[in-house]
């Protein structure tokens, strides 16, 4: 029977469309870091700024050591300064000759000796540092050419897991032809999990000064670039450009500007705030048609990038809430339906009481009240949606469990003395799975809807990450329809996809009906 | 003697009638105190300068009409002694008055309901029989010369003779002033209005501390009342002039006329106790829960006509006799609309005539630039009395070093943000005083945007990235600052995002925590913060003590100095300024204070944004002033030809 | 029902009072910034005393529930001065708004109920009126192209987020689009002085879009339930029996299948009302309507405890009312037309 249901399901057009949409949205969300990012995949450049900074920090580090020595601070502090000096030397060494560092290295070696007069050694160190700094003056440092992978090093274990997950899903589906479902999933995901774990452990937070301002560093020629490969949308979701705020999609005539960045459109629909737009290197030209495909928001952030990244949050919260909701509802529903008696009474009463609560209001209040330091907002939203939404699933599953429990072969099994637990797992659960999946589909769609409504109202929003509902909420106004149409379409598609899948599952589960002639 | 309140001899008090400042309507102010106020209607399309630079003249004033003004909030009641809200004050400016206050165009201290103000000194002899006398005291080298009506008296200088200058204020009230219900206004009303601050049961805690500096209040005759301060205080004049006046016959049960006005009050108490006499508790009850807190009886040119949750309407009061300051429109209506977007829509729908809170989006939006809109309305900006800043907790070890705080200021591109976000409609702050205030030294510049200088300052202070993670550290502690920002305020949220980027460039990590106002305020009060983004609403000349003196720095003191600044130079300058009664000399002291505070950077001083307004083109006479709400409602009139107007007041 | 109601009030009260931050800091002048010469400590202390913020949670809850006022100025039996004896839910007094002291929450709620209840009722009515025929028709014509089209349309409508639908309609039909309908508020100011008929017409025009958006989600959901329910009934034994007795298809449908199919649909009323009350928050916010939902939302943003308590309790009450109505409707309808058939 399962495979017949599956056949009907996969044959239905709704299911196909729904799954296709989910696949596309999921893929876009999973690969968002590679599609829209303000740092390149590959960067071949000379980092002048870091060298200059290292040079200028030699003397302050030595002076800090001297202060610490004079104040008789702990040895660990002294060695922190020494280690920092050594790392500066390491950084500078490839750019200058070894001679320049002999004095400094000698002084550093002395600090390692025991039974020395620390203050005297410190004074020597300061003098040596001054000497080295002056010797490495302008023009003396030649920065080596380096090849780095900024975008990839920015990913942590979780990002890698999410990015590889679609591949895992595809692999699992493939393997299902040969193996049983559970084994297929395990085989497909085990290597992915391993890779993610490795990346997670090895991951190092990227240097702060390299975050987000790489393009500006390039513009200032702190970094001299030979070549760089950027993502298709070379903008980050959090990258601001106040001179380009509220710019309509650049392919529209109202957003046209000339080469200098001054508006050329006849309508006063878009006027750059400072009179001209400042662009960064490696971005499309200011007057290019594809610069901002969906326009920019109040802070000049690219909306297309934000929609891509917003999917991660919206879809994840929708799925997580649905899973939690589904778990709670199924467990309670099955328990109530199958075990009956006291358990049934308690669960049914609880369902009634929870139903009495004005769901959306409570969600609003709960989310508005969460202290973001104690509970991350995303988690709060998930918990709250699950807490008010599990009742529908529970009812559905309970009804199904009751039906199955009263059916012929279960009664027969009971009569034969088969243990209740075994009946539960062998007969009730597999049959209850179908309607439960239907319930899950609707729950996921509903959760995405609720989450985006919350974000639209400005509640439950994580300041750091965009979310589709939040994008609509911060842009509402007919003046800027382009800013909220796209995220709204995204939400609509996501909910639609889940609803289609759930509908198709429901249709597939029903026994075939005789076709009636029209009355 | 100080130049601000005019001083004159004892005998001449009754003879001198003091005229209000004759500042021309072009707002130049008195010489030497240029407040840089623009001329009237400076944004009106019919007043724009022509090719030669001259402005077309203003149309002839008219009288009549109803003006509907938007307000974000309405006061709960108008008894400002009990609760002093800015909104209450704006309404009270039309329906009531004060003894003396800052002239909005010149910031000179001018009598309003008083006809004249006399300022005298106090000479006290402590030993033997303690004696004191009022008069003008002059400093002869070895002695004090006290000028009294009966002739000069010389007192030898010694330790037990103390002279306090400018602590005695004598007000001569105008003749013929009546409350809106017709009852005459006299000095007993004034004395009663002050006496409630000594009554602990009256709920006037907001301002009690200020009025408790006044030692005594005496009624000399029906039109003369005298206040004596316990010590010299530069703010003395404005504090006493700002006393909120209450009608004794409606608020004081000991007044013989009170029983006529409110017989039920006396009857109910006599019913419980035949021998009841009104005492302090009864006075407090009468002030706290008086029906006239809403049905307000005042002394101004307008009186309350109707008051609902959404609309407060006032109309002309027949008791106002002074035609010069009677206001042009016959009725003023304040319409409360809390949401700014809805307020703008209300303006376009004609429900509001003047909107003083246009958002940046609306101001530069397509509706405001459309021809339809411009045919009917015009927009402009004016200064505001508030500025905002990022306060650093100077007690926190990371932020204790002023070099670190200065580095943060050098890292922030304030000018760039001003152009791109505010579009030039704000002024960068250069210290704790508004750029438009005389206390602000125009030669002081904000700290330059210089990342290199910032980095060297931080390195000098010992903050260097030793562990290689890109964040500066010292002693194992990374330079990570948490800044508290108010959740709903989009302007500060935007700035916080930019600020984070700017600081990241210098190797400082900024963590932005978004809280709602009550949570933010609590953490600030508990000193549980590293940085906090807030704003101040400034009075025309504020007393910097609460905000900057080390006396208010300890964490158990609730007050303005929550950043914990404790600098002896700052304390000394504040004390010197408070004791300096000469206005110009005092401003020079404030300039030095500003320079010192800028050096220490207890705040990152950000911006004083302008307020944007939009109003009907038929409204003329809009004059920007130096006092909240920074424009003069009484100067507004409808253009000639508007239906319902006339060319004379009566 | 009463224990449920009390339980709801307790949960709401606790949830709202668990808020971080000091509610006393929500003061009248928060909007205008902080003035440096006001004694904030004294003002805060007075505020706390007035609103019982330092009293025990139990006392605060009983003060909230009422009918006795337990503040220092409250009922004489509990140590108050006796000036204000009554307070609380049971006395229909929710206190004053914190953001606008002097304005009683109850008065404001009454004003806004007059807006939200008709809107919600109209939306519900509209949803049912359209959903039932549509769902039934689609079930009866099952298998035809038109009914599939209708089913697809219903799915699309169900999936569309309310806030987006509202913004789209404003864009298309409002002043920036075709300008067919007014999009803001419930009345235009120009009509304030017009005749009653003109004012009524104006209100109707303004309500069209909000009611549609409110009803849209419920409509789709209801229609699909009706469709499913009718389909199920058409397959039932008793219908086959009725057919076998020779009744025409139409009679069968009209007399037996449809009425029985509609029974479970009535119980959905219990779920539809709270959904609408919740949905009104978004709709009122977008259309600028001053209703209960907008009030609750603003109160939440402002951390105005009195408003939040009042609106949440009220929506709980409305939910209970909805369930009561559906139970009553079911009981009324049930015995009269029960011919046979199994209910789940």
Structure-token match 């006299």, residue found: B186
> What rounded mean pLDDT belongs to chain A?
82
- Kindly tell me if the per-residue pLDDT of B601 is higher than 80: yes
Confidence of residue C42 (pLDDT cuts 50, 70, 90): low
Chains sharing 3 or more CB pairs under 8 A with chain A: B, C
Mean pLDDT of C165-186: 83
Confidence of residue B62 (pLDDT cuts 50, 70, 90): very high
- Distance CA(C331)–CA(C336), nearest Å, equals 9
- Distance CA(C213)–CA(C208), nearest Å, equals 9
Judging contacts by C-beta atoms under 8 Å, the chain C residues touching residue B349 are: 188-190
Mean pLDDT of C207-216: 92
* A342: contact with C, CB 8 A cutoff: no
**Greater model confidence, B415 or A2:** B415
- Kindly tell me if the per-residue pLDDT of B610 is higher than 90: yes
User: Cβ–Cβ of B470/A206 closer than 8 Å?
Assistant: yes
What is the chain C residue with the closest CA to A484? C164
Q: How many residues would you count in chain A?
A: 519
User: Cβ–Cβ of A213/B501 closer than 8 Å?
Assistant: yes
Confidence of residue B9 (pLDDT cuts 50, 70, 90): very low
Give the one of A64, A204, A240 whose C-beta lies nearest to B498's C-beta.
A240
- Distance CA(C166)–CA(C177), nearest Å, equals 14
- Distance CA(C206)–CA(B391), nearest Å, equals 47
pLDDT tens-digit series, residues A94-128? 888 888 888 888 888 888 887 778 888 888 889 98
User: Cβ–Cβ of C26/B518 closer than 8 Å?
Assistant: yes
- Kindly tell me if the per-residue pLDDT of C262 is higher than 80: no
Q: Hey, which residues 376-405 in chain A have their CB within 8 Å of chain C?
A: 399
Chains sharing 3 or more CB pairs under 8 A with chain B: A, C
* C184: contact with B, CB 8 A cutoff: yes
B181 to B88, B177, B293, B303, B319: CA distances (angstroms): 21, 11, 14, 10, 8
Separation of first and last alpha carbons in chain B = 43
**Greater model confidence, A496 or B557:** A496
Greatest mean pLDDT range, A485-494, C8-17, C164-173: A485-494
- Kindly tell me if the per-residue pLDDT of A329 is higher than 90: no
Percent of chain A, pLDDT > 70?
A: 92
What is the chain C residue with the closest CA to A479? C176
- Kindly tell me if the per-residue pLDDT of B603 is higher than 60: yes
User: Cβ–Cβ of A361/C311 closer than 8 Å?
Assistant: yes
* B415: contact with A, CB 8 A cutoff: no
Which one, of A21, A41, A25, lies nearest residue A33 by Cα?
Answer: A41
Chains sharing 3 or more CB pairs under 8 A with chain C: A, B
Least confident piece of the model among B153-162, B625-634, C204-213: B153-162
Confidence of residue A75 (pLDDT cuts 50, 70, 90): confident
User: In A, what residues contact B, Cβ < 8 A?
Assistant: 53, 56-57, 60-61, 63-64, 67, 76-77, 80-81, 83-84, 87, 204-213, 216, 238, 240, 242-243, 245, 268-269, 271, 273-274, 298-299, 371-373, 458, 463, 477, 479
Residue of B309, B365, B489, B490 to mutate when probing chain C, most C C-beta within 10 A: B309
Mean pLDDT of C36-51: 63
Which one, of C24, C213, C188, lies nearest residue C122 by Cα?
Answer: C213
Judging contacts by C-beta atoms under 8 Å, the chain A residues touching residue B462 are: 60, 64, 67
Judging contacts by C-beta atoms under 8 Å, the chain C residues touching residue B72 are: 31-32
* C155: contact with A, CB 8 A cutoff: yes
Greatest mean pLDDT range, A102-116, A250-264, B39-53, C142-156: B39-53
* C308: contact with B, CB 8 A cutoff: no
Q: Give the gap in angstroms from C-alpha C189 to the nearest C-alpha of chain B.
A: 7
- The answer to whether the peptide bond before residue A357 is cis (omega within 30 degrees of 0) is no
* C23: contact with B, CB 8 A cutoff: yes
Determine the pLDDT at residue A517: 33
Mean pLDDT of A216-224: 83
pLDDT tens-digit series, residues C129-158? 998 888 888 888 877 888 888 888 888 998
Judging contacts by C-beta atoms under 8 Å, the chain B residues touching residue A248 are: none
Determine the pLDDT at residue C338: 44
- Kindly tell me if the per-residue pLDDT of B5 is higher than 50: no
* C32: contact with B, CB 8 A cutoff: yes
Q: Give the number of A-B residue pairs with CB atoms closer than 8 Å.
A: 102
User: Cβ–Cβ of B203/C43 closer than 8 Å?
Assistant: no
Determine the pLDDT at residue C31: 35
- Kindly tell me if the per-residue pLDDT of B444 is higher than 60: yes
Determine the pLDDT at residue B13: 32
Is the ipTM beyond the 0.90 threshold? no
**Joined tokens for residue A39:** 């740092």
What is the chain C residue with the closest CA to A514? C235
Q: Give the gap in angstroms from C-alpha B525 to the nearest C-alpha of chain C.
A: 10
Residue of A18, A356, A447, A511 to mutate when probing chain C, most C C-beta within 10 A: A356
**Joined tokens for residue B310:** 């959404």
> What rounded mean pLDDT belongs to chain B?
85
User: Cβ–Cβ of B309/C301 closer than 8 Å?
Assistant: no
* A503: contact with C, CB 8 A cutoff: yes
The DSSP result for A339-374, as a single string, is I-HHHHHHHHHHHHHHHHS-HHHHHHHHHHH--TTT
Q: Give the gap in angstroms from C-alpha C18 to the nearest C-alpha of chain B.
A: 12
- Kindly tell me if the per-residue pLDDT of B478 is higher than 70: yes
Q: Give the gap in angstroms from C-alpha B522 to the nearest C-alpha of chain C.
A: 6
pLDDT tens-digit series, residues C275-311? 777 788 899 988 888 888 889 888 887 777 788 888 8
- Kindly tell me if the per-residue pLDDT of B403 is higher than 70: yes
- Spell out the residues 6+ positions from residue B32 whose beta carbon is closer than 8 angstroms to its own: B584
Determine the pLDDT at residue A486: 92
* A359: contact with C, CB 8 A cutoff: yes
- Spell out the residues 6+ positions from residue B11 whose beta carbon is closer than 8 angstroms to its own: B149
pLDDT tens-digit series, residues B97-120? 999 988 888 888 889 999 888 888
Confidence of residue C184 (pLDDT cuts 50, 70, 90): confident
Give the one of B522, B537, B559 whose C-beta lies nearest to C25's C-beta.
B522
What is the chain B residue with the closest CA to A458? B488
- Distance CA(B176)–CA(B278), nearest Å, equals 30
* C144: contact with A, CB 8 A cutoff: yes
Mean pLDDT of A265-291: 79
Mean pLDDT of B506-527: 83
* B365: contact with A, CB 8 A cutoff: yes
Q: Give the gap in angstroms from C-alpha C78 to the nearest C-alpha of chain A.
A: 31
User: Cβ–Cβ of C159/A481 closer than 8 Å?
Assistant: no
* C277: contact with A, CB 8 A cutoff: yes
Q: What angle do CA A116, A124, A86 make, to 5 degrees?
A: 90
Pairing label, strands C34-35, B531-537: parallel
What is the chain A residue with the closest CA to C294? A457
Q: Count of H helices and E strands in chain A?
A: 20, 3
Determine the pLDDT at residue A372: 67
pLDDT tens-digit series, residues A22-55? 999 999 999 999 999 988 999 999 888 888 888 8
Mean pLDDT of B598-611: 95
User: Cβ–Cβ of B419/A77 closer than 8 Å?
Assistant: no
pLDDT tens-digit series, residues B249-305? 999 999 888 988 888 888 888 888 888 888 888 898 899 888 898 899 999 999 999
Determine the pLDDT at residue A268: 63
What is the chain B residue with the closest CA to C27? B518
User: Cβ–Cβ of B464/A209 closer than 8 Å?
Assistant: no
Q: Could you say which DSSP state residue A257 is in?
A: B
Percent of chain B, pLDDT > 90?
A: 43
- Spell out the residues 6+ positions from residue A187 whose beta carbon is closer than 8 angstroms to its own: A171, A172, A175, A179
**Joined tokens for residue B12:** 């001449």
Determine the pLDDT at residue C1: 65
């Amino acid at each position: 029977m399962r495979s017949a249901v599956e056949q009907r399901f996969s044959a239905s057009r709704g299911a196909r469309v729904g799954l296709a949409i989910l696949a596309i949205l999921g893929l876009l969300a999973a690969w968002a870091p590679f599609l829209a990012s303000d740092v390149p995949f590959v960067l071949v450049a000379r980092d002048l700024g870091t060298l200059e900074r290292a040079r200028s920090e030699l003397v302050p580090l030595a002076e800090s050591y001297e202060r610490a020595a004079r104040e008789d601070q702990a040895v660990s502090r002294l060695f922190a300064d020494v280690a920092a000096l050594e790392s500066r030397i390491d950084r500078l060494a490839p750019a200058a000759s070894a001679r320049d560092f002999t004095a400094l290295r000698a002084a550093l070696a002395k600090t390692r000796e025991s039974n020395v007069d620390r203050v005297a050694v410190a004074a020597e160190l300061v003098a040596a540092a001054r000497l080295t700094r002056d010797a490495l003056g302008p023009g003396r440092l030649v920065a080596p050419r380096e090849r780095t992978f900024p975008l990839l090093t920015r990913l942590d274990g979780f990002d890698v897991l999410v990015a590889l997950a679609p591949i895992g899903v595809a692999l699992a589906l493939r393997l299902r032809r040969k193996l049983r479902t559970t084994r297929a999933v395990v085989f497909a995901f085990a290597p992915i999990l391993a890779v993610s774990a490795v990346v997670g452990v090895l991951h190092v937070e990227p240097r702060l000064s390299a975050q987000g301002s790489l393009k500006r560093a390039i513009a200032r020629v702190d970094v001299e670039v030979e070549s760089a490969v950027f993502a298709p949308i070379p903008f980050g979701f959090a990258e601001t450009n106040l001179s380009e705020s509220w710019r309509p999609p650049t392919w529209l005539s109202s957003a046209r500007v000339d080469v200098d960045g001054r508006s050329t459109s006849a309508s006063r629909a878009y006027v750059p705030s400072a009179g001209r737009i400042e662009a960064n290197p490696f971005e499309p030209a200011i007057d290019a048609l594809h610069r901002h495909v969906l326009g920019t928001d109040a802070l000049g952030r690219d909306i297309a990038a934000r929609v891509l990244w917003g999917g991660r949050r919206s879809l994840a919260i929708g799925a997580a809430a649905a899973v939690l909701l589904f778990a709670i509802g199924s467990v309670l529903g099955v328990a109530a339906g199958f075990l009956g008696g006291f358990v049934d009474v308690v669960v049914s009463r609880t369902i009634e009481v929870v139903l009495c609560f004005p769901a959306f209001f409570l969600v609003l209040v709960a989310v508005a009240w969460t202290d973001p330091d104690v509970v991350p907002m995303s988690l709060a939203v998930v918990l709250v949606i699950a807490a008010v939404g599990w009742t529908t699933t529970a009812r559905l599953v309970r009804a199904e469990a009751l039906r199955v429990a009263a059916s012929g072969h279960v009664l027969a099994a009971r009569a034969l003395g088969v243990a209740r637990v075994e009946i539960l797992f062998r007969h009730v659960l597999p049959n209850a799975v179908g309607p439960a999946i239907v319930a899950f589909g609707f729950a996921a769609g509903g959760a995405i809807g609720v989450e985006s409504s919350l974000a639209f109202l400005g509640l439950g929003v994580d300041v750091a990450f965009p979310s589709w509902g939040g994008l609509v909420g911060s842009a509402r106004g007919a003046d800027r329809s382009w800013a909220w149409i796209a995220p709204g379409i995204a939400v609509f598609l996501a909910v639609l996809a889940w609803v289609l899948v759930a509908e198709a599952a429901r249709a597939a589960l029903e026994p075939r009906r005789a076709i009636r002639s029209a009355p | 003697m100080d130049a601000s309140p005019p001083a004159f001899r004892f005998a001449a008090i009754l003879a001198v009638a003091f005229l209000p400042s004759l500042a021309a309507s072009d707002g130049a102010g008195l010489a030497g105190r240029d407040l840089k106020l623009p001329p009237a209607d400076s944004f009106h399309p019919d007043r724009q300068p022509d090719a030669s630079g001259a402005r077309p003249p203003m149309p002839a004033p008219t009288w009549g009409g109803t003006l509907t003004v938007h307000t974000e909030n309405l006061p709960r009641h108008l008894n400002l002694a009990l609760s002093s809200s800015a909104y209450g004050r704006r309404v009270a400016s039309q329906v009531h008055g004060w003894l003396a206050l800052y002239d909005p165009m010149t910031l000179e201290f001018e009598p309003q309901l008083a006809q004249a103000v006399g300022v005298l000194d106090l000479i006290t002899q402590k030993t033997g029989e303690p004696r004191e006398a009022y008069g003008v005291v002059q400093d002869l080298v070895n002695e004090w010369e006290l000028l009294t009506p009966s002739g000069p008296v010389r007192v030898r200088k010694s330790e037990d003779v103390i002279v306090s200058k400018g602590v005695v204020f004598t007000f001569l009230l105008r003749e013929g002033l009546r409350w809106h219900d017709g009852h005459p206004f006299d000095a007993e009303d004034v004395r009663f209005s002050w006496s409630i601050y000594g009554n602990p049961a009256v709920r006037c805690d907001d301002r009690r501390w200020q009025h408790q500096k006044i030692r005594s209040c005496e009624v000399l005759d029906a039109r003369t009342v005298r206040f004596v301060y316990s010590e010299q205080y530069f703010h003395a004049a404005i504090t006493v002039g700002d006393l909120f006046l209450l009608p004794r016959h409606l608020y004081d049960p000991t007044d013989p006329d009170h029983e006529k006005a409110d017989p039920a009050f006396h009857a109910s108490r006599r019913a419980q106790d035949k021998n009841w006499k009104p005492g302090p508790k009864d006075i407090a009850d009468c002030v706290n829960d008086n029906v006239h807190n809403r049905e307000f009886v005042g002394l101004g040119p307008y009186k309350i006509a109707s008051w609902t949750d959404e609309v407060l309407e006032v109309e002309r009061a027949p008791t106002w006799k002074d035609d010069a300051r009677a206001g042009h429109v016959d009725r003023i209506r304040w319409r409360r609309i809390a949401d700014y977007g809805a307020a703008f829509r209300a303006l376009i729908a004609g429900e509001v005539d003047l909107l003083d809170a246009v958002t940046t989006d609306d101001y530069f939006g397509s509706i405001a630039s459309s021809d339809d809109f411009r045919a009917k309305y015009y927009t402009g900006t004016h200064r505001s009395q508030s500025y905002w800043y990022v306060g650093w907790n100077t007690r926190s070890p990371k932020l204790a070093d002023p070099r670190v705080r200065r580095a943060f200021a050098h890292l922030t591109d304030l000018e760039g943000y001003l152009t791109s976000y505010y579009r030039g409609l704000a002024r960068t702050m250069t210290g704790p005083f508004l750029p438009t205030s005389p206390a602000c030294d125009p030669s002081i510049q904000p700290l330059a945007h210089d990342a290199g200088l910032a980095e060297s300052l931080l390195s000098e202070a010992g903050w260097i990235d030793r562990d290689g993670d890109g964040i500066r550290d010292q002693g194992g502690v990374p330079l990570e600052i948490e800044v508290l920002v108010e959740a709903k305020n989009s302007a500060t949220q935007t700035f916080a995002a930019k600020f984070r980027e700017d600081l990241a460039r210098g190797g400082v990590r900024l963590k932005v925590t978004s809280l709602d106002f009550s949570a933010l305020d609590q953490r600030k009060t508990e000193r549980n913060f590293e940085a906090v983004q807030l704003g101040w609403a400034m009075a025309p000349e504020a007393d910097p003590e609460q905000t900057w003196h080390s006396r208010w720095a300890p964490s158990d003191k609730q007050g303005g100095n929550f950043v914990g600044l404790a600098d002896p130079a700052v304390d000394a300058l504040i004390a010197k300024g408070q004791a300096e009664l000469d206005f110009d000399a005092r401003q020079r002291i404030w300039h030095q204070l500003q320079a010192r505070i800028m050096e220490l950077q207890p705040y990152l001083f950000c911006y004083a944004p302008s307020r944007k307004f939009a109003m009907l083109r038929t409204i003329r006479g809009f004059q920007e002033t130096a006092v909240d709400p920074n424009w003069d409602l009484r100067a507004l009139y409808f253009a000639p030809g508007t239906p319902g107007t006339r060319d004379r007041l009566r | 029902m009463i224990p449920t109601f009390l339980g709801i009030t307790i949960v709401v009260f606790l949830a709202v009072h668990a808020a971080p931050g000091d509610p006393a800091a929500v003061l009248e002048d928060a909007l205008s910034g902080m003035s440096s010469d006001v004694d904030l400590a004294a003002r805060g202390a007075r505020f706390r005393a007035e609103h019982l913020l330092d009293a025990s949670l139990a006392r605060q809850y009983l003060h909230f529930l009422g009918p006795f006022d337990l503040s220092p100025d409250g009922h004489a039996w509990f140590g108050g001065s006796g000036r204000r004896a009554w307070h609380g839910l049971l006395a229909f007094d929710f206190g004053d708004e914190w953001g606008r002291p002097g304005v009683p929450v109850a008065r404001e709620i009454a004003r806004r109920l007059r807006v939200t209840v008709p809107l919600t009722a109209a939306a519900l009515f509209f949803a049912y009126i359209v959903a039932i025929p549509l769902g039934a028709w689609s079930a009866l014509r099952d298998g035809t192209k038109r009914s599939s089209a209708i089913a697809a349309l219903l799915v699309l409508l169900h999936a569309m987020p309310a806030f987006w639908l509202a913004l789209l309609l404003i864009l298309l039909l409002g002043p920036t689009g075709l300008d067919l309908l007014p999009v803001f508020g419930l009345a235009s100011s120009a009509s304030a002085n017009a005749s009653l008929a003109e004012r009524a017409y104006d209100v109707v025009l303004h309500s069209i879009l909000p009611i549609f958006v409110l009803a849209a989600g419920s409509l789709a959901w209801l229609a699909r339930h009706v469709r499913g329910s009718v389909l199920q009934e058409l397959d039932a034994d008793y219908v086959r029996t009725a057919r076998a007795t020779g009744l025409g298809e139409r009679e069968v449908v009209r007399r037996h299948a449809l009425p029985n199919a509609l029974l479970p649909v009535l119980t959905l009323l219990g779920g539809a009302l709270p959904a609408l009350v919740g949905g009104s928050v978004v709709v009122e916010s977008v259309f600028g309507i001053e209703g209960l939902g907008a009030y609750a939302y603003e109160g939440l943003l402002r951390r105005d405890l009195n408003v939040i308590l009042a609106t949440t309790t009220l929506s709980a009450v409305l939910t209970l009312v909805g369930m009561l109505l559906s139970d009553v409707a079911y009981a009324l309808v049930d015995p009269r037309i029960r011919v046979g058939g199994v209910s789940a």
